[in-house]
Structure 1
Amino acid sequence: MSTAESHPDMPPDTPDVWFSWNDMEADADPAAEAPLACTGLLFDETLRDGLQAPNVTNPGQDRKLRLVDHMVRSGIRAADLGFPGSGPSAARECLDLARHVAAARHPFSVGYAGRTHPADVHAICEIAQQAQIPLDAYVFTGVSPIRQYVEDWDVTTIERTIRATVRSCTHEGVTFVLVLEDAVRCTPEVLGRIYDVAIDTGVNRLCLCDTVGAALPHGTAALIRWTRRYFTDRGHLVDLEWHGHNDRGLALANSLTALSLGCARVHGTILGIGERTGNASLDQLVVNRTLEGDDGYDLTALREYAEYAAQVLDVSIPQNYPALGADVFKTSAGVHASAILKAHEKGDTLLKDAVYSSVPAALLGREQDVLVDEVSGASNVRYWLTTHGFDSTDDNRVKAILERAKAGRGPLTDAQMRQIIATAP
């Protein structure tokens, strides 16, 4: 059944409105594959796309400056710091952020977002001139047939505005990055026409967006591989970027796919904040990159960044949030506690972190936390006693603690444990 037939309310001449790269076969040509090593930068969208979330508090300027400092300490080396074209107040804040980066000599690439609109481009160029630092202009335009249909746009208009924006950025001396909104639902025919404009105007940086979180990992791969092949076949070098949202819960998987396929930058926000269900989680990307051998990040600083962001943006970190949640290194199961205790007795922190966790707690400045509750066994008690400086071989003490734990609900606190030890015969 055609897309027009499956959506009978749509005009018969608009079948491409329902196009998705999830329905395309990925190009398996080895020549189109990137090296296995993921070398792309992570691009922090917290202060732009992240602040579009309705549940997020827009922090004051001093707090935004501190957020930038936290990014840098965590190892983030590039970020979108705002949308200066949205008004005079936003333009002033964006200028202050750029000047802060310059004054602190942060090893940090600054970008700003804007539409293919002369006022937006001018606002970005003004910041570049006043702050006297290199800037990237992330200029976005919707390209999918569904957006064209709803907005009454046509591809010719999109082509014309891209050409005009490239000329403006070139004239003002800022780096133009072509950001294609909803690229995941844009047909090869439309993308080909836009890519031809990029080639003709010398564009060498292109961001593919999964604006509504529609992509599956194989759809992400199909789009990236096809795009790379298109430019390669025409002898034009272009650095690809990926910007993903989390509507289907796949933003992290899609972003890791984009990194594995050689994207120069992959975008995300701290704690995955953003409109609707949010963006790809930058912190989870950092954790995964670190576990894959990238030593450019500081996970302890990342935890501090996330905790500060949660405070000033007025968002919570779920108890079970990967790597950063309060419960992610806690266990009360006796089998787990037994293995962790044995690893602890071997004196190997890495071993203790790895036996029942894929993310080392020590990298985040944390430790394995073995709880004692109604489902615990003797190993839980002995681990607590050992790590708190008590004799763990006293069977009567272990028995007294276990009896108390199994008679209650929830884990015993450190204070309760010490009280039992003090009163046990």
Structure 2
Amino acid sequence: MNAHARAAASSTPDVRFSWNAMEVDPDPAGEAAVAGTGLFFDETLRDGLQAPNVVNPGLEQKLRIVDHMVSSGIRAADLGFPGSDPAAARECLEIARHVAARRHPLSLGYAGRTHPADVHAICEIAHQAQLPVDAYVFIGVSPIRQYVEDWDVASIERTIREAVRSCDREGVTFVLVLEDTVRCTPEVLTRIYDVAIDTGVTRLCLCDTVGVAVPAGTAALIRWTRRHFAERGHAMALEWHGHNDRGLALANSMTAHALGCARVHGTILGVGERTGNASLDQLVLNRVLDGGGHHDLMAIRAYAEYAEDVLGVPIPQNYPALGADVFKTSAGVHAAAILKAHEKGDTLLKDAVYSSVPAALLGREQDVLIDEASGANNVRYWLITHGFDSGDDALVKAVLEKAKAGRGPLTDAQIRQIIATVQ
């Protein structure tokens, strides 16, 4: 570090804090009562579109995205930022009217700052669409944000009070969204939480805005927050909004869901600024695999594939459940087990023997490849699933020899050509 950097560092107060270092005792009985009962809240059309690599789709495409949300079992979503500009406000209104016209069972949320103009823009959507709307009103609260923005806690308290009053006057539900909650001290949160109690706020979103949290920190913050309101006899529904900078957004969001957050936020394919948000499709996948929810994995797959196209975000080959390679194997020992399961006539067994995600739930199948790493069972599996005699040893040998001599898996056309030559 040079002299200038040292001087700059020494003049900056220590504004670093993280709930990752905190320990808060659990409430087993209370947590068990609400575990896994919350909704997933789709942020694709708001936070998801803030990423520079994501294409901002047209209105008709956004309406189709809303349709896909509902088909997938999503029942609440943030549908835009109407205060950002007049064009955004018009789109947000059209989306609300689309939900009403289709009679979609979707709770509507719109985002805005505590700025009066943003709050008014959200309220206008509710009035013009004649629908209940949740105003997700956000403000940064962490010491580092306060220092950079030259804010103090008193000014934060004042702006929250003003925003709540505005929503109350307009008859719109207010949701207090605390940006960077994970890096906000208990002392500051105590003051802000007491303002929420005093103004009658009943919904609060805790945010891991820069993706700093680990699951233990997520749990500590949620438990401490819940205890704070319980001790004061104030009912507060908590929500969780997480980012993926440390690769932990999914784990943190699942922790929040397990601890009973009323809504857990995510975006399709995890799109969003920097490294993205928690992946909504992976949240849904895990909930279905754990036996909960009313979600449709076939519909989630259709949603993701549509989003891949209109948002310009390719699904990686190894992306959980949806990637092209996730149900493929060329290893001989894996192929042998899959073949034996197939011969028992049990699709779920075949899906489970070398995968934790049932391919059939996504309209897919186990795909056994034949390449230089394969054994005879790879060939037999391909033959039996394509209607050929898997007991023809000469045929198996011919296909395997061709695979061992090449690089990469044989295509179906190549295998059929070998079969034609042998026969």
Cα shift at 1:218:
0.4
Q: How does 1:243-258 map to 2 (within 5 A)?
A: 243-258=241-256
Cα shift at 1:170:
1.0
1:86 is aligned to: 84
Q: How does 1:332-371 map to 2 (within 5 A)?
A: 332-371=330-369
Whether 1:124 and 2:122 are equivalent positions in the alignment is yes
Deviations 1:291-312 (A, max 9, x none): 0101401101101100100100
* Whole-angstrom distance in 1 between the partners of 2:252 and 2:388: 48
AA in 1 matched with 2:223:
R
AA in 2 matched with 1:220:
T
Cα shift at 1:393:
0.7
Deviations 1:333-384 (A, max 9, x none): 0000000011011111100000000000001110000001111011111111
Cα shift at 1:23:
1.0
2:9 is aligned to: 9
* Whole-angstrom distance in 1 between the partners of 2:35 and 2:335: 36
Question: Does the 8 Å contact 2:35/2:259 carry over to 1?
Answer: no
Cα shift at 1:31:
5.2
Relative to the length of structure 1, the TM-score reads 0.96
2:138 aligned residue (137, 140, 147): 140
* Whole-angstrom distance in 2 between the partners of 1:20 and 1:8: 23
Q: How does 1:178-217 map to 2 (within 5 A)?
A: 178-217=176-215
Q: How does 1:367-386 map to 2 (within 5 A)?
A: 367-386=365-384
- Secondary structure of the residue that 1:57 maps to in structure 2? coil
2:299 is aligned to: 301
- Secondary structure of the residue that 2:220 maps to in structure 1? helix
Question: Does the 8 Å contact 1:41/1:77 carry over to 2?
Answer: yes
Question: Does the 8 Å contact 2:270/2:278 carry over to 1?
Answer: yes
* Whole-angstrom distance in 2 between the partners of 1:101 and 1:407: 57
Please provide the CA RMSD for this pair: 1.4
* Whole-angstrom distance in 2 between the partners of 1:125 and 1:277: 31
* Whole-angstrom distance in 1 between the partners of 2:10 and 2:309: 46
Question: Does the 8 Å contact 1:91/1:123 carry over to 2?
Answer: yes
1:57 is aligned to: 55
Any unmatched runs of 5+ in structure 2? 1-5
Relative to the length of structure 2, the TM-score reads 0.97
Distance 1:222 1:8, change over 3 A: farther
* Whole-angstrom distance in 1 between the partners of 2:34 and 2:267: 25
Cα shift at 1:7:
11
Percentage of matched positions with identical amino acids: 80
- Secondary structure of the residue that 2:83 maps to in structure 1? helix
Any unmatched runs of 5+ in structure 1? 1-5
1:103 is aligned to: 101
Cα shift at 1:173:
1.1
1:271 is aligned to: 269
AA in 2 matched with 1:9:
A
AA in 1 matched with 2:354:
Y
Cα shift at 1:9:
2.2
- Secondary structure of the residue that 1:121 maps to in structure 2? helix
Moved over 4 A (4+): none
Whether 1:422 and 2:405 are equivalent positions in the alignment is no
Deviations 1:194-243 (A, max 9, x none): 00001011111000000000001100000000000000000001100000
- Secondary structure of the residue that 2:389 maps to in structure 1? coil
Deviations 1:274-331 (A, max 9, x none): 0000000000000000001014011011011001001001111000000000000000
* Whole-angstrom distance in 2 between the partners of 1:210 and 1:174: 25
Question: Does the 8 Å contact 1:32/1:229 carry over to 2?
Answer: no
Whether 1:74 and 2:72 are equivalent positions in the alignment is yes
* Whole-angstrom distance in 2 between the partners of 1:297 and 1:46: 17
Deviations 1:99-146 (A, max 9, x none): 000000001011000000110000000010010111000000000000
Question: Does the 8 Å contact 1:112/1:124 carry over to 2?
Answer: yes
Cα shift at 1:26:
2.6
* Whole-angstrom distance in 2 between the partners of 1:35 and 1:308: 37
* Whole-angstrom distance in 2 between the partners of 1:64 and 1:32: 39
Question: Does the 8 Å contact 1:26/1:218 carry over to 2?
Answer: no
* Whole-angstrom distance in 2 between the partners of 1:121 and 1:36: 31
AA in 2 matched with 1:256:
M
* Whole-angstrom distance in 2 between the partners of 1:30 and 1:66: 42
- Secondary structure of the residue that 1:84 maps to in structure 2? coil
Higher mean alpha-carbon deviation, 166-175 vs 208-217, is at 166-175
